[in-house]
Amino acid sequence: MFSDLEGESVDVRIDAEPGDQSAGTPVQVDGSNLTPGTPVRVTVYSEPQLILDGVAREDGTYSGTAPLPADLGEGRHTVVFEANGVGGPITVAGSFLLEPDGTFDRIAQPRAITDLNGPDDERLARALELGRPVWDPDARPLTTALIAVTAMSLIALAGAGGVTAGLGGRPSSSTTDQPSNRESDDDSGSSDRDGERKKNSRGKLAGVVTKKLKGIQVSSSAWGDLSGTWALPATTLTDRFSRDVPNRVGKFSAAGSRVLVDGAWLRAMFGSFGYTTWIVGAVLGSLASFVGTDSPLTPTATWLSVIVVLGIIDSGGGASAWLTMSILALATGSIGGWADIRTILGLFVLLATPALLAHVIRPLRRFVKGNRFEFWERIFDYLMMPVFVAFATGSMLKALNGLSGLEIVSASDVSTLRWIVWASIIARLLFEDIAAHWYPERMIQVQPAKLASPGKAVTSVSIAARTLVFLMICEPFFGITTTTLVAAVLLGIPFVLKMWEDDLPNSVVLNKWFPRGLFRFLCTLVLGAYLSSRLIGADAGADAIKSSFIWLLLPGVLIGVIELFGRSGGTWPNVALRRSLGALVWLAAAGMVTGHLTLFS
């Protein structure tokens, strides 16, 4: 089910690179799933010239090569392939620009496209300008359906806070995200925190930017606290900044405060030097904007991978790279329409949020006091988090093509990035463990005891903005229709209810038995796979996806609403049984996201 990118049934390639002579350049065609006996034609414009005229074989395949004419002349030209496939007409188109001497200036390789508006189609013009092939979501309906299922599955996974393993785990003091300060060793403070933890143990519907980083009590220094690794110039100033500024920002932006505090482990270990990731991010963002690309909005997969790694080490570094790329895109006039704005949004999610998503899948920061339960929980962190963050980041990368309307990454790029993210998350977990256990006092000094959250007024504005962003992102995949408007309203309901969550009734029974964490993620994956197979099928077109995608989103919405009414109180006292079932759940979910377990094919 979870293949990287939907394959092309017809591959058309202009076998040349910029600087090559165009006359006689071969145009290679390889097709499958064609209607047996259907005419296969390749035409070159601007003055139309038919350069290939063939017929598909009885098995629905075709292979052929045709040379480009020698008299094309200077300027932009278009190559269009046309044939009938088993699912309907197939059109593949690309463009190239010739110099006065007949050499290629740039090439946008042909890709599948729907509703082609002739050789002057603006999608082809934009693709050639930015040096990337067209990526048409309507020509890849199964990839579009997969993105919808993935999005809802990840929302379901993040919704439970992602801090308990498998099924029905009871909250533990170790399932927190960062060491806290030592204040309130008194019974009253401890009781207040315990009550808050119990109250917030379920039902928080914490999205990528809404999880509250809670603390644990650490009352002793360690080797790192007494060392000089962090005693660098300006550390006192940067410590004050990292403690105070996130909460000031948090009153207006939950995302901003989480990005600012994410690299606390670096500041704990290296003092002011821990902010160099932000400088490195700006440098990488500048290089990604100009090296190997024609626009800051179309960085190469290599640069994207490097910045994603930086963003996993410190979300602030990834955000710095993204901000630099956005500023350079504005300065160079690269932002010319909604597709470019969607690309900027997609780049932010890809470059700055994987570490934040990791926080809500499992705790990145966990202080293990030696308790066997806490030790096993940390082992589960190392086993579960890398797999699912890698899966999520690969999905973010896949979606970038559809958001931009250009082929920025390939299937091999997605696969490579997943392995890179997997290794990077393990490295981040190791760094966090070193910081938490060797620098506990420093961790107190470089971050707020608790992050502030926006008030209801700001939250209301955030929900409205989220709805608008959802519609903007949906447009290239599903269009702006009554269906997408209804979907936007439905997705907003859990967030609106969450504003008054403490006033809602709470069911202990629901809290105990309603799927949570990884089990919820698996349930959503299975349900999404089932609905996709029943409502869409393997050979469905774009219209089937657009009419059915709201049913793919609905389970995630219902889960988000139901969990608000089962926030706390339920426990599974049999820890061994819970862990055993959790292991089975992890194996099943990991099998589905890696493609080793396919259901309803």
Averaged in consecutive runs of 10 residues, what is the pLDDT profile of the chain (601 residues)?
56 92 93 90 91 92 92 92 87 94 93 89 91 87 69 57 30 36 35 39 32 48 88 93 90 86 94 96 97 91 96 96 96 90 91 88 80 82 88 86 89 91 96 91 88 81 83 80 84 83 84 73 75 61 68 76 80 70 78 74 58
Residue 553 included in any domain: yes
Residue 598, domain member (yes or no): no
| Per-residue model confidence (pLDDT) at position 162 | 31
Q: pTM higher than 0.95 for the full model?
A: no
pLDDT for the residue numbered 468: 85
d(CA 248, CA 312): 24
Q: Give the count of beta carbons closer than 10 Å to the beta carbon of residue 486.
A: 12
Q: How far apart are CA 117 and CA 123, in angstroms?
A: 9
Place of tokens 């620098």: 439
pLDDT of residue 140: 78
Structural contact between residues 289 and 324, judged by C-beta atoms closer than 8 angstroms = yes
Tell me: do 223 and 358 sit in the same domain. yes
3 part of a folded domain: no
Evaluate whether 435 touches 329 at the Cβ level (below 8 Å).
no
Tokens representing 164 are 């308990």
Structural tokens at position 342? 């969607």
- Confirm if 381 and 362 have CB atoms less than 8 A apart: yes
**2 part of a folded domain:** no
Tell me, yes or no, whether 54 lies in a domain: yes
What is the 3-state composition of the chain as percent helix, strand, coil, each rounded to the nearest 5? Answer: 55, 10, 35
Q: How far apart are CA 131 and CA 581, in angstroms?
A: 50
Say if residue 578 is in the same domain as residue 512. yes
C-alpha–C-alpha distance, residues 290 and 563, integer Å: 46
Is there a single domain that holds both residue 259 and residue 364? Answer: yes
Is 297 inside any structural domain?
yes
- Specify whether 410 is located in the same domain as 545: yes
Q: Could you tell me if 352 and 311 are in contact, meaning their C-beta atoms sit under 8 angstroms apart? A: yes
112, 401 Cβ separation under 8 angstroms? no
Q: Are strands 39-45 and 75-85 parallel, antiparallel or unpaired?
A: antiparallel
In a domain, 600, yes or no: no
Q: Give yes or no: residues 125 and 175 share one domain.
A: no
Beta strands in 295-383 (DSSP E): none
Last residue of a domain, one of 134, 166, 188: 134
Task: Out of 114, 134, 154, pick the residue that ends a domain.
Answer: 134
- Of 68, 102, 134, which one is at a domain's C-terminal end? 134
Q: How far is CA 557 from CA 190, 484, 490, 491, 534, in A?
A: 35, 14, 7, 6, 20
Domain span at 206: 143-593
DSSP state of 160: T
- Residue 458 has a pLDDT of 83
Distance CA 389, CA 392 (A): 5
Q: Beta strand 88-98 with 104-112: parallel, antiparallel or unpaired?
A: antiparallel
Domain of residue 29, CATH code: 2.60.40
Co-location of 47 and 187 in the same domain: no
127 shares a domain with 173: no
Residues 107 and 166 grouped into a single domain: no
Number of domains in the chain: 2
Q: What is the dihedral of CA 280, 283, 284, 286, to 10 degrees?
A: 160
**Same structural domain, 223 and 118:** no
Do 428 and 572 lie in one domain? The reply is yes
- 455 and 363 in one domain? yes
pLDDT at 582: 73
Whether residues 41 and 171 fall in one domain? no
**Is residue 5 one of the residues assigned to a domain?**
no
Q: Which residues pair with 31 in a beta bridge?
A: 10, 62
- The C-alpha atoms of residue 64 and residue 395 are separated, in whole angstroms, by 34
